[in-house]
């Protein structure tokens, strides 16, 4: 059934309760590829708590994207086969603890109609809070519902994307994904068969299962961690990325990064196919 604009805009779900432990924190870090080199002490700090020399487990900032997996403003009644991630923008207020009980408040921000044959864009927000009610992070998600356009909603007013510099990148890093990476990452919560079921992927228009957009998002966080953040999660104040093309598990993601003060701009490509997979990326460090 077509989107009901007024009903969708009114969706709200406050006080959703969640909890996670260091197991989920380590699984997420491994799911975005950290620990591929089992002797890399910088990345081991995110996937191993240390034994002979105890050290606190670090939490990848973008773990916030799965810390309250399943939280949402409510049922949107979209054509699930045709829905893909459009953008993610997370603002961080303080480092996430390695284990916590949290609450999530979710609301719909905007719904844009791109046209009957062009789909719809839904932006919704989730605020994560700790047990004291203090904000941990605010997540703004943009969904591109390719099969749900033409409902008569507004078409203008979407936020302008971040513009990356026109000069040559200041740094370039290659991050390799594993052929089975989507099968690992899905254990963080996203069981969408688009990432694991070849038949489902073909019906959705892809030759084989694709990597989760949010896994690619986490990979870009890794790229900033290892280049400009000195593997310090507390340095992250915001991390934004727009998804422009899927990554297939096993491909190498090449990140191009530009540093301007505390702003890190980035894009990501799969050179083997000549495609840009992440556009308009921005990290604010502080």
| Catalytic machinery residues | 190, 195
- Nearest one of 115, 76, 108 to 12, comparing CA atoms: 108
Per the structure block, which two tokens stand in for 142? Answer: 């943009």
Strands 275-285 and 263-270: antiparallel
The residues facing 119 across adjacent strands are 115
The residues facing 284 across adjacent strands are 238, 263
Neighbouring residues of 261: CB distance < 8 A, sequence distance ≥ 6 = none
For 65, counting Cβ atoms within 10 Å of its Cβ (0-12 exposed, 13-18 middle, 19+ buried), the class is buried
Backbone angles phi, psi at 271, to 5 degrees: -65, -30
- Compute CA distances 170 → 124, 228, 253, 259, 281, whole Å: 33, 11, 17, 7, 14
DSSP 145-201: ETT---SS-----PPPPPPPPSSPPSEEEEEEPPTTHHHHHGGGS---GGGT-HHHH
């Amino acid at each position: 059934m077509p989107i009901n604009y007024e009903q969708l805009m009114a969706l709200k779900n406050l006080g959703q309760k969640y909890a996670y432990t260091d197991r989920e924190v380590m699984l997420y870090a491994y799911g975005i590829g950290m620990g591929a080199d089992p002797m890399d002490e910088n990345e081991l700090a995110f996937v191993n708590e240390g034994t002979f020399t105890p050290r606190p487990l670090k939490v990848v900032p973008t773990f916030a994207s799965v810390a309250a997996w399943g939280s949402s403003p409510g049922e949107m009644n979209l054509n699930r086969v045709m829905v893909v991630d459009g953008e993610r923008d997370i603002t961080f207020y303080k480092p996430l603890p390695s284990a916590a009980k949290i609450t999530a408040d979710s609301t719909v921000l905007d719904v844009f109609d791109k046209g009957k044959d062009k789909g719809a864009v839904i932006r919704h927000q989730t605020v994560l809070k700790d047990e004291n009610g203090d904000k941990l992070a605010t997540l703004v998600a943009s969904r591109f519902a390719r099969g749900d356009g033409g409902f008569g909603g507004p078409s203008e007013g979407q936020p302008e994307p971040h513009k990356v510099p026109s000069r040559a990148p200041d740094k370039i890093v290659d991050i390799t994904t594993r052929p089975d990476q989507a099968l690992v990452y899905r254990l963080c919560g996203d069981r969408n068969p688009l990432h694991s079921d070849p038949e489902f992927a073909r019906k959705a228009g892809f030759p084989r299962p694709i990597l989760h957009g949010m896994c690619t998002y986490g990979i870009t966080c890794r790229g900033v961690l290892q280049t400009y953040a000195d593997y310090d999660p507390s340095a992250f104040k915001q991390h934004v990325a727009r998804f422009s093309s899927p990554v297939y598990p096993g491909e190498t993601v090449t990140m191009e990064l530009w540093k301007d003060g505390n702003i890190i701009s980035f894009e990501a490509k799969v050179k083997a196919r000549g495609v840009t997979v992440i556009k308009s990326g921005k990290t604010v460090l502080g």
